């Protein structure tokens, strides 16, 4: 896990729904050499790192319908889903690969195929997850969120045929944050007089 930084702007649609535009900056890394089991990982020894800049839009569903300022006290769980783009600068390394260990397999041929292909600079992502907010004041809240990023590529780490081409890559993000509300949330879903 690596630290990330992000911010968002959202617009409340009604007491239960809001739309949100997210900007996140972070880094993804992995190293096969750090794993003792299964044994092949230390021999394959692939590693990668990439900074990630994600821009995404999501629809957020406040499960308890607490999007109005007069009803925002306490815990407020929510679910979210949407779409976005992750901009990457993949740095892959297969220099520690042990081809003798894989003499009966096609890993070396798959690695050659992977290294001949340029890693993507941007990928389409579908973020989905769950979170909870806790209102401290009518304008200030704490938030905790976990989100998974579904992807349509197997080259997030720069490797596919040398690893597992049958499975697409993905990543997740956990965050803790502070939410400051601007504007007047009370105007949504006001009862008629």
**Overall fold of domain 5-184:** Porin (2.40.160)
pTM of the model: 0.85
* Average pLDDT of the residues of the chain: 89
pLDDT by residue (tens digit) across 4-36? 899 999 999 999 999 999 999 999 999 999 998
Residue 103's pLDDT band, with cuts at 50, 70 and 90, is: confident
pLDDT by residue (tens digit) across 43-59? 999 999 999 999 999 99
70 has a pLDDT exceeding 90: no
- Residue pair 153/90 in contact (Cβ under 8 Å)? The answer is no
185 has a pLDDT exceeding 60: no
In this predicted structure, what is the pLDDT of residue 34? 92
CB pairs under 8 A, 24+ apart, for 142-145? 142/176, 142/177, 142/178, 142/179, 143/175, 143/176, 143/177, 143/178, 143/179, 144/174, 144/175, 144/176, 144/177, 145/80, 145/173, 145/174, 145/175, 145/177
Beta bridge partners of 77: 132
Percent residues over pLDDT 90 in the chain: 66
């Amino acid at each position: 896990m690596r630290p990330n930084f992000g911010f968002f702007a959202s617009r409340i649609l009604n007491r239960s729904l809001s739309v949100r535009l997210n900007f996140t900056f972070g880094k993804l890394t992995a190293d096969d050499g750090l794993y003792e089991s299964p044994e092949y990982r230390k021999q394959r020894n692939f590693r990668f790192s990439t900074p990630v800049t994600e821009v995404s839009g999501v629809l957020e569903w406040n499960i308890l319908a607490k999007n109005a300022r007069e009803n925002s006290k306490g815990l407020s769980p929510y679910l979210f889903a949407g779409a976005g783009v992750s901009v990457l600068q993949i740095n892959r390394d297969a220099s520690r690969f042990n081809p003798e260990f894989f003499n009966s397999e096609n890993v070396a041929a798959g690695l050659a195929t992977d290294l001949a292909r340029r890693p993507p600079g941007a990928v389409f992502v579908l973020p989905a997850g769950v979170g909870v907010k806790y209102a401290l004041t009518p304008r200030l809240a704490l938030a905790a969120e976990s989100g998974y990023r579904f992807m349509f590529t197997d080259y997030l780490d720069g490797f596919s045929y040398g690893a597992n081409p049958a499975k697409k890559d993905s990543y997740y993000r956990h965050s803790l944050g502070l939410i400051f509300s601007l504007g007047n949330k009370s105007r949504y879903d006001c009862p008629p007089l």
